[in-house]
Structure 1
Amino acid sequence: MTSQPELGRSVPPAWDPAPHLQPSHEVAARLQVDPDQGLAADEVPPRRARHGSNALAAAAPRSVASRLIAPFKDFMILVLLAAALLSGLIGEVADTVAILVIVLLNAALSISQEWQADRALAALQRLAAPRAQVRRDGQDQAIDSHELVPGDVVHLEAGNLVPADLRLHAVAQLRIDESALTGESLTVDKHSAPLPAAEHALGDLRNIAFKGTLVTHGRATGLVVATGAATEIGRIAAMLDASGDRTTPLQRRLAAFGQRLSVVVLVICAVVFGVGLLRGEELLLMALTSISLAVAAIPEALPAVATVLLALGARKLVLVKALVRRLPAVESLGSVTTICSDKTGTLTLNRMTVSTHQAANDGAAALLWRAGLLCNDAAPSPQGWRGDPTETAVAERAESAGLDAVAERAAWPRRHEWPFDADRKRMSTLHVAPDGWVACVKGAPESVLPRCTSAWGADGAQPIDIAAWQATVQGLAAQGLRVLALAQREGSIDRLDAMRALDADQAERELVFLGLVGLIDPPRPEARDAVAECHSAGVRVVMITGDHPQTALAIASQLGIVDAVEADEAADAGTTGAARQVISGPELARLDDHALAAMVSDVRVYARMDPAQKIRIVQALQSRGELVAMTGDGVNDAPALKAADIGVAMGQGGTDVAREAAGLVLLDDNFATIVAAVREGRRIFDNIRKFIRYAMTGNSAEIWVLFLAPLVGLPIPLLPIHILWINLVTDGLPGLALAAEPGERGLMRRPPRPPTESVFAHGLWQHALLVGILIAGLCLGVQAWALETGHAHWQTMVFTVLTLAQMAHLMAIRSEGQSIISLGLRSNRPLLGAVALTFALQMAVIYVPVLQPIFRTEALSGAELALCLACAALVTAAVEAEKAWRRRA
C-alpha cells in the first residue's frame, strides 16, 4: 500500500484538463490522494472552499417588478399607451379606459411565460445523485453527493447515478448509459486505462464516468476530478443559462411594424392638424380630429388578438399531442427553415433491436440463438427483459426464434465466465450439461473471427472463409448496424475443471463460428414520411447525434435526410462524399466559426457531437439566415434547445432538462407530430396575416376618411367613439373568429417564409392601401350625397357604411387565393357567428333609443340602410376581382 499523502496543509491545484490521458495513479498523485485510503476528513473543507459545492449554481430569480415591466417594453404597447394618454388629456375617458384594458389583458397573457428560464437549471440539479458511496480515512461511508470534492474516492455499482465526473481507477465489467448526455443509444463499456493522446469526442472517453449518467452493469472505483459547475452537466448548465431568450419572427415583425406605423401616424396627424388650422378650423376641433386619427391608425386589438390566436393554436396542438410551453413558439414553427433533430429517441425508437442475422449455416441458427441467450447477463421479468440494451435485444430475438430462456439456462447452467472488457472486445461463458460443456463467445467481429478455426456447417464444423465473413461484417456495418459475432467451443465433462482454470486468452481459442447478429436502434416507422413532408414544405431536416459517422449516415439515408445514392457511395469509399453530407465532432472542432458557417448549408448529418458543438451548429445556421428548430430529448440537447429559435423536446422519453428548455414538447415522442405543429404554425401565421390585412385595411379606410374630409371641404365625418367602436368591436370579435379559419390549399407545399420577411409582404400593404381608399371613397361619397340631399343623419350613414364595409371585407379575405364561393360559408362557423353578432350590435347602436345618445346616432330608413349594404357589397366584389386577377397571374 502506498503511503497516505500529507493532506490538510495545502489544497491541490486545479485538476489536469485531460485526466483521461494519464494513468489513474498519476491522477491520484496530482489530486494528492491515496485511492486505498481516500481523503482525510480535515482535507475536505479546504477543497470545498476552493472548488465549491458539488451542485449546480442556481440562477438568480428575476424580480417580480422586472417580470411585470417586461411586457410594457414592446414598442406597439408603448404606442398604445401614448394614444391612451393623449385621449385622456382631451377628456375622452372612455377611449383611454378601453385602450388600457386591452394593454393590461395582453400583459397578463404574457407574464405567465416569464418563469420558465429559472426552472431549466432546477431540472438539471435534480439529475444529481442524492447519495454517494465514498471512501474517507480508509472507511467506506455514504454522504450527500453535493458534499463531494475533487480527490474523493467514489464507489459505483449497477443502479447508481454517477455523482460527479470521475476518472475511473478500478473497473469490473462497468457499463454506463450515457444517452442522456451524449445521445449514444448503446451503453458504454468503461475501463481504467489511459487513452492515447488524440482528439476524443465526449462519448469516446471510456475511462471517465460523467455526473448524472446511469450505471447499468458492473462495479468501479473512481477519483472525483470535477464537481458542480466544472462537470460536463455543469458546463451544459452554464451554456443553458448563457444562451438567453430569442425573439420570435412575429415579435420582430410587429416591432418593426409598430415603429414604422408610429412615424406615419405622427406625420399624418401633423398634416391634418396643420391643414385644419390653416383653413380656420377651431383648435379644439382639430385636436379632437388628430386624436381620432391617431386612434384610427393604431390597431389596438392587434397585440391581444395575436396572443389569443397563438393561445387557441396551442390548445389545438394539444389535440395532436404537442404541448406549447411558450406561445410564440407556435408562430415560430410556421417560419422554421431547418430542423436540427437528435437521432436517439427522436428519429429512432431508443430501443436496440436485432435487425438481421447471418448464421454460419442453416443448421447453425438454433446454436447461434442458444449462444446469444447463454452468453448474456440480461434477466427476464414480468415486464420484459432487464439489463444491457444490446443483451436484452439478443435475448428477445432468441425467444422469438423459439427458445425457452428458462429451460435453456436450466439445461445449460453457467459454471464460469470471462467478463467483457474493452481490450478484448468480447465476453465468454462456460456452461455444463450431462454430456459435456460448451463455452459461448460473443463480441466484436474483429475480435471473435480471428479466433475461429472453423464454422458450423451441415455436418458439424467446416473450414471457415474469414475474408468472406469480414466482407459480410463490413456490409452490415455500412447499413448502420452494430454487429456481434457469436462462436462456441465444446468439450467433454472430464475437461471442465481444466477449462475453468484457463485465462480468457487461452479459453477463447479454436472456436467454431456460429454467425453474426446485426442490431440497430431502428428509425421510427412514421419518421421517414415526416421527413419527406418537411422537405416538400421547404424545411430542411438535419440530424445531430453522438453516434459514429457511419451509423449516423446509414440511419439518415434510411430516413431520407441524405441522398441514399450519395450515402452508399460515401460508405463504399469510406468518406463523407463530395457533398460533405456528414461531419464528425473532431472535424468540426478544427473549424472556426467562419468555416463552419460556410459549409453548414450543405451538411445533413453531424456525428459524435458534444453539447457545445450543437450550439455552434445552431448559431452557424442562424448566421446564414436560417430559422432553426432543435428537437431532442437528452441533457445534452438542452442548451441547443434554448439557443434555437424553437426548441422541441420529447415528453415521454425526454429528460426534465430538455422539457424545461424547450418551447414545444411532443407528448407522444413522435417526430411526425412536429409536422402537424409546423402545419399549425403556418396556419396560425396565415390567420394573423389575415387579421392584419383586415385590421389595417379598416384602419386605412378610417385614416383616409378623416384625412380627406377636411381637405375636400367636408365636416369631420366620425367621432372618437365611432372609431373606438369600430376598432374594438368589429376588429376584435371577427378577428378572434379568424383563428378557426382552416389552412390554405398547398399549405405544406410552399417554402417557409424568410425570417426577415415583412408582415406586409405579398401585396398586403398595397391591398390595405387601395381597398382602404375604396372604402373611404364610398364613405365620403355617401357623406357628400347625404349633405347634398339634406339627410340630417349623414354621420350615422358614414358610420354604418364603414362598419358594414369592414364586415364585407372580412368575408372576402378568408383566403388569399380561393373565392368566397369555393370556400363555402360553413367552413368557418365561428366567423359567420361573429359577423352576424357584429351586424346585430351595429343595428342596436343605430336603432335602440337608449344607445343613440351615447353613440350620437339616428335611426336610418330602409332605403338608407340598403344604400349602406350596397356599398359594403361593392367591397366584396372588388376583393374577389383582385383574387381572380392574382389566380390568373
Structure 2
Amino acid sequence: MLLVAAVVSFFLERHTDAFFILAVLLINAVIGTAQEYSAERNLESLRNLVRTYARVVREGESFEVDAEECVPGDIVLLEEGMKVPADLRLIETHALNVDESLLTGESAPVSKDASAVLKWNAALGDRVNMAFAGTIVTRGRGKGVVVATGIETELGRLAETLTDVESAKPPLTRRMEVFSGNIAKAVLIAVLLIIAIEVRRGMDPAQVFVQSVALAVSAIPEGLPVALTVVLAVAVNRMARRNVIVRRMVAVETLGSCDFIASDKTGTLTMNVLTARLVAIPGHGYMEVTGDGISPEGEIRTAHGRPTEREEHLIKRVVTAATLCNEAFFGMRNGRWVHHGDTVDVALLVMAHKVGVMQADVTAKHPMVAQIPFASERKFAATLNRVGERHQVFVKGAPEILIEMCDRMVTIDGDAPLERDAIERCAADMANNGYRVLAIADGVVESDEEFSDKQLRGLTFLALIGMIDPLRPEAEHAVARCRKAGIQVAMVTGDHPITALAIARELGLAQSMEEVVTGPELKKAEHIGDEAFDDLIRQARVFARVEPRQKLDIVQSLIRLGHTVAVTGDGANDAPAMRAAHVGVAMGMSGTDIAKESAELVITDDNFASIVAGVEEGRVAYSNVRKVIFLLVSTGAAEIVLFFLSLFAAVPLPLLAVQLLWLNLVTNGIQHIGLALEPAEGDEMRRPPRPHGEGIFNRIMVERILLSSIVMGGITFMLYRYLLSTGSSMDEARNSTMLLMVLFENLQVFNSRSELRSAFSLSPMRNPILVIGTLGAQLVHITAMYTPWLSGVLNIGPVSLEHWARLLALALTILVAMEAYKMVRRRVPSA
C-alpha cells in the first residue's frame, strides 16, 4: 500500500511525500535487518564449535580419524569422555554408560549391554545394545560397528525432519495481514466514494484525485511499520537485559501471545545434574540431603532437624563407603569446583563433601587394594580397601543385588539382622516417588584369595540413596506465574513416567498418573487417527518416554487444538518440535547448535523463569502495538468522518491536500514512536492470553475507534459548519478546523496509553519521550502558523487567545468521552 502511495505521489509531482514514504520503508528494513544480525552475532558467541574425532580399527590397526570419515563397517573404540561419532551396534561393553540426553532428554546415563536382545519396536531410550551419534560416553569402554553415518543416524534423521517441518505462522504476522487487508479495503472504499461524489458535483477530477490521494495517505497508518519495528526492537533490548536473545523479531510478540508452553524437562525445568536427595537407613526413616547441583553447599538433615551424635556416626559410615567405592573425581581446581566421571559417582562425592568427608582424605587413609568395576550385567561395583590392619569391602549397586550379599543391616542401636521386607518396601517407595535408588553396603573380608564377587557375602546393609535430577530453584514459581497468566504448561520428556510425574508434582503440573501420557500410548492413538491423538493430548500435562518424532506430533496436535504454542528445549531431540511451534525457545548454555538454529529465542541462562520474563515482555510489546494502531487508525478515521459529513452536508471539503499531509506529520510524526516506548502497565501477567483467533480489531478496539473518531470528526465538522454559517471565510474556517484536529489528535495520544486505565492514572514521567514529542509536535504547528512562508503554503495563520481557549475546550471533549467509556468498561467488562 505504501509503495503504491509513493508511486502515485511521485507521478503527481509530490516528490517530498514519495521520498518520505520510501524512507519509512527503508528505515523499517534497516532496523529489522540490523536487529536480527545483532541477535545472530550474540548467538554465535554461545556456540562451541568442537571437531569430533574417533578411534577406529581398520585392517587390524587402531588409529584416530575425523568423525566425518567414519563409514559403515568401521569398528569404533569407545572410552570415557568420548563423543560417539556415528550410530554403532555394540559388540563389546565393559561398564559402558552413555549420556543420551541429547536425543532422549533423559538425564541419567544409560548402561549399555552388547549382549542384550531387544524387541523390534524398542523405544530409542531402551536400545541398550546401540550407541548413537552425538551422545557422550560417561563411563567404561566399548566397541561397536558403524551402522549409520551422517543423515542416516538418529541425530541426522532429526536434522532431516527440520527441512520437512513447516513453522506455524506467528500470531502478529497473521493479525497484521488481516489488519492490512481491512485497512486497504476501508480506505479504498472511502476514497472512491469521495471521488465519485465530488466529480458528480462538478469538481475538477485532477483536484479531486490529488485531494483523495492526500486523504488516503493521511488515513493509511504509514507510520505503523516503523512503529511496529521500534516496538519489537525495544522489546528485543528489554528481553536481552532479561537473558533472552531474540533471533527473529516477530517472535517477541509470539511468545507474549502463547497460551501453551510445552517444556523439555531435562536442563530446562531441572538442572540436568543428578543429585543425592534422600538417605534412608533401614528402620530409621529418611534423611534429607539439602543443596542442589555440583556444589558442596548443603547438609544432611533428619526428620527432627540436625542429626544426633549416633546419627552423625551412621551418616559418616555411609558416605565414607560411597566415597571409597567410587571412580569419579570432585574437587577444587583454580578456585572452582570441577568434576569428571559417572554422574552417580559424582553425586555421591558431592553428598560426602556436605558432611565433611573429602575424597582425598579417605582414600589416603584407606587405600584401595582391589576393585570390581561396575558392569550392567552385574549391577554393582565394589572396592577392597585397607582399613587399619584389616581389609574391608565397600559396595554400591542395585538394592535387589546388595540385599542378597547382606545378612545384617545397620541401625541406630548398632548392627542387627537384615530385614529384607523393610528394605524392599523403602526402595519401592523411593522409586515410586521418582528417585533413582542406589544401595550401599560394607563388610570385612578375611580371605587372602584374589578379590572377586564370591567374597561379597555376609555384608552389612548401610543405606539406600535416593537420587534425582532436581528442579531448578525458580521453576516452580515460574510455572505458577504462567498459570496465573492463563498459560498452560506441559512437560515433555524421554524420562520414565514415574520420574516425570515426581517432577511434575513438585512443579504443580500434575498429581496423578491419569495426567501422564507415554510414548507407547501416543503411538497407539496415532494409529487410530488424529481425533484420538488430539483427545489424548487435550488432557495430558506430562508426556513421558516420548521419542523425538512424537514431540513434533504433540506440538502439531496442540496447534490443531487451537493453541498458540511455545516449545522449550536444549537437545537435538527438541529441534523438530521447536521448528513446528509458533515459537521455539532454546537453552543457550546447555543447548546444542541444532536446537539453537531451530529456535527463534535463546535463553542465555537456561532459566525457565527467563522464558516467563520473555512472555511478559512479549505481552508488553503486543499491547504497545495495539496502542500505536489505535492512535493511527482512530485519528485517520476521524479525518474520514470529517470528510464524509462534509460531503453529506454538501459543503466544500474542510481540508486541502497539503493540510491533510501536514496534519498527518504533526499528529503522527513522532507520537506513535513515543507510544512504542511505553513501559509495562504492571498487570500483563494477570491477564489471560489473547484468544488464538482474535484479530487486532477486537470488540474493545472497534468500540474505542468508533467512539473517538465520531467525537473528533463530528465536533470538528460542527465547528467547520458553524464558522461557514457565521460568515467566516473558507481559509479561516479551514485554519480553525486544522488547529482543532491537531489539538484533538495530540490529546488522543494520552487516551492511547491504556485500553482501560484512566489517562490521569498514568504519570507523564513514565514516558517522557511521548510527552516531549507530543508537545513538540504541537509547537511545530504553532510555529508554522506564525511563519509567513510556511503559513502561506498551508493556508493557515495565527488565532486569538480567546479562540485558542474555545478550541482547546472543544478538544478536551475527547478526553471526557474516552474516560467515560473506560469507566463503564471497568465496571461492566462484558458491556
Instruction: Provide the TM-score with structure 2 as the length reference.
Output: 0.91
Distance in structure 2 (CA, Å) of the matches to 1:247 and 1:729: 36
Does structure 2 conserve the Cα–Cα contact (< 8 Å) formed by 1:151 and 1:223?
Answer: yes
Q: 2-side partners of 1:121 and 1:869: how far apart? A: 52
464, 475, 480: which one pairs with 2:429?
Answer: 475
For this pair of structures, how many residues does the alignment match? 791
Distance 1:341 1:661, change over 3 A: same
Equivalent in the alignment of 2:390? 436
| Change beyond 3 A, Cα 1:108–1:119 | closer
2:618 equivalent in structure 1: 681
The DSSP-based 3-state class of the residue aligned with 2:208 is helix
From 732, 738, 741, give the equivalent of 1:802: 741
Alignment of 1:204-243 (within 5 A): 204-243=126-165
Q: d(CA) in 2 for partners of 1:726 and 1:172?
A: 81
Q: Which residue of 2 aligns with 1:332?
A: 254
1:124-165 deviation line (CA, Å, top 9, x unaligned):
998785322111122112222212111111112222211111
Paired residues of 2:46 and 2:588 also in contact (CA < 8 A):
no
What's 1:372 paired with? 322
- Structure 1 residues 115 and 200, CA, compared in 2 at 3 Å: closer, same or farther? farther
How far the C-alpha of 1:284 sits from its partner, in A, is 1.2
Secondary structure of 1:590's counterpart equals helix
* CA-to-aligned-CA distance 1:315-339 (integer Å, 9 cap, x gap): 1122222222211111112111101
Q: Answer whether contact 1:305 1:735 (CA < 8 A) is retained.
A: yes
CA contact (8 A) 2:281 2:411 kept: no
Measured in 2, the distance between the counterparts of 1:127 and 1:211 equals 16
Question: What is the alpha-carbon distance in structure 2 between the residues aligned to residue 175 and residue 165 of structure 1?
Answer: 15
In 2, the alpha carbon distance for the partners of 1:846 and 1:508 equals 102
Letter in 1 for 2:581: A
Which residue of 628, 649, 668 corresponds with 2:605? Answer: 668
User: Do 2:116 and 2:128's aligned partners in 1 also have CA atoms closer than 8 Å?
Assistant: no
Amino acid across the alignment from 1:396? V
Q: Give the match for residue 66 of structure 2.
A: 144
* Residues 226-276 of structure 1, C-alpha deviations (whole Å, 9 max, x = no match): 100011111111122322443211111110111122222222222111111
Aligned residue number for residue 550 of structure 1: 498
Q: Which residue of 2 is the match for residue 857 of structure 1?
A: 796
Question: CA 1:287–1:772 in 2, change beyond 3 Å: closer, same or farther?
Answer: same
Aligned equivalent of 2:461, options 513, 530, 546: 513
Unaligned runs of 5+ in 1: 1-78, 568-575
> SS in structure 1 opposite 2:115?
coil
Shift of 1:822: 2.3
Is contact 1:301-1:727 (8 Å) kept?
Answer: no
Query: How big is the shift at 1:732?
Result: 4.0
Q: SS of the residue aligned with 1:380?
A: strand
Whole-angstrom distance in 2 between the partners of 1:280 and 1:184: 79
Q: Deviations over 1:852-880 (max 9, x none)?
A: 24433322232333233222111111111
Q: Residue in 1 aligned with 2:359?
A: 405
User: Where does residue 610 of structure 1 map in the other structure?
Assistant: 547
**Which residue of the other structure, out of 727, 731, 755, is the alignment partner of 2:664?**
727
Among candidates 10, 19, 30, match of residue 108 of structure 1: 30
CA-CA distance at 1:512 after TM superposition: 1.6
Aligned partners of 2:46, 2:482: CA distance in 1, in Å? Answer: 32
Deviation at 1:813, TM superposition (A): 2.9
Distance 1:638 1:729 in 2: 48
Question: Where has structure 1 moved over 6 Å in runs of 4 or more?
Answer: 113-128
What CA deviation, in whole Å up to 9, does each residue of 1:585-629 have, x standing for no partner? 222122213322122121001112222111111111001010011
Asked whether the equivalents of residues 200 and 586 of structure 1 are also in contact (C-alpha less than 8 Å), the reply is no
Deviations 1:823-868 (A, max 9, x none): 2333322221121111111212222224224433322232333233
Equivalence for 1:157? 79
2:481 to 523, 533, 555: 533
Describe the SS at the equivalent of 2:216: helix
* Contact 2:666 2:742 (8 Å CA) reproduced: no
Q: How does 1:232-381 map to 2 (within 5 A)?
A: 232-360=154-282, 362=311, 364-381=314-331
Tell me the equivalent position of 1:848: 787
Is the CA contact 1:152–1:223 (under 8 Å) kept in the aligned structure 2? yes
Find the aligned partners of 1:114 and 1:334 in 2 and give their Cα distance: 19
CA distance 1:844–1:481, change in 2 (3 Å): same
CA distance in 1, matches of 2:425, 2:575: 40
**Percent of matched pairs sharing the same residue:** 39
Q: Is the contact between residue 92 and residue 142 of structure 2 (CA under 8 Å) also seen in structure 1?
A: yes
* Counterpart residue identity of residue 398, structure 1: A
Kindly indicate whether residue 523 of structure 2 is the aligned counterpart of residue 584 of structure 1. no
Q: Quote the Cα distance in structure 2 between the aligned partners of 1:459 and 1:287.
A: 102
**Which of residues 19, 22, 26 is equivalent to 1:97?**
19
With over 3 angstroms needed to count, the CA separation of the structure-2 counterparts of 1:113 and 1:814, relative to structure 1, is: closer
Over 3 Å counting, the alpha-carbon distance change for 1:509 and 1:586 in structure 2 is farther
Q: Contact 1:121/1:657 (CA < 8 Å) preserved in 2?
A: no
AA partner of residue 519 (structure 1): M
Contact 2:322–2:349 at 8 Å: present in 1 too?
yes
**SS in structure 1 opposite 2:139?**
strand
SS at match of 2:322: helix
- Asked whether the equivalents of residues 120 and 657 of structure 1 are also in contact (C-alpha less than 8 Å), the reply is no
Counterparts of 2:223 and 2:405, CA distance in 1:
77
What is the deviation of 1:312? 0.4
AA aligned opposite 2:494: G
**Corresponding letter in the other structure for 2:784:** V
CA distance in 2, matches of 1:270, 1:475: 77
Rate the CA distance shift 1:120–1:608 in 2: closer, same or farther, 3 A.
farther
**8 Å Cα contact 1:582-1:603 kept in structure 2:** yes
| Helix, strand or coil at the partner of 2:169 | coil
Counterpart residue type for residue 412 of structure 1: H
**For the residues of structure 1 that align with 2:747 and 2:662, how far apart are their CA atoms?**
17
Query: How far apart, CA to CA, are the structure 2 residues paired with 1:405 and 1:444?
Result: 23
Distance 1:189 1:282 in 2: 88
Check whether the contact 1:630–1:644 (CA below 8 A) recurs between aligned residues: yes
Structure 2 Cα separation of the partners of residues 384 and 115 of structure 1? 36
- Give the 3 Å change call, closer, same or farther, for CA 393–857 of structure 1 in structure 2: same
CA contact (8 A) 1:84 1:96 kept: yes
| Kept in 2: contact 1:385–1:396 (CA 8 A) | no
- The offset of 1:773, in angstroms, is 1.8
| Shift, 1:282, TM fit | 1.4
Question: Which of 595, 612, 618 matches 2:532?
Answer: 595
Q: Please list the CA deviations of residues 52-91 of structure 1 after superposition, one character each: whole Å capped at 9, or x if unmatched.
A: xxxxxxxxxxxxxxxxxxxxxxxxxxx2212222222323
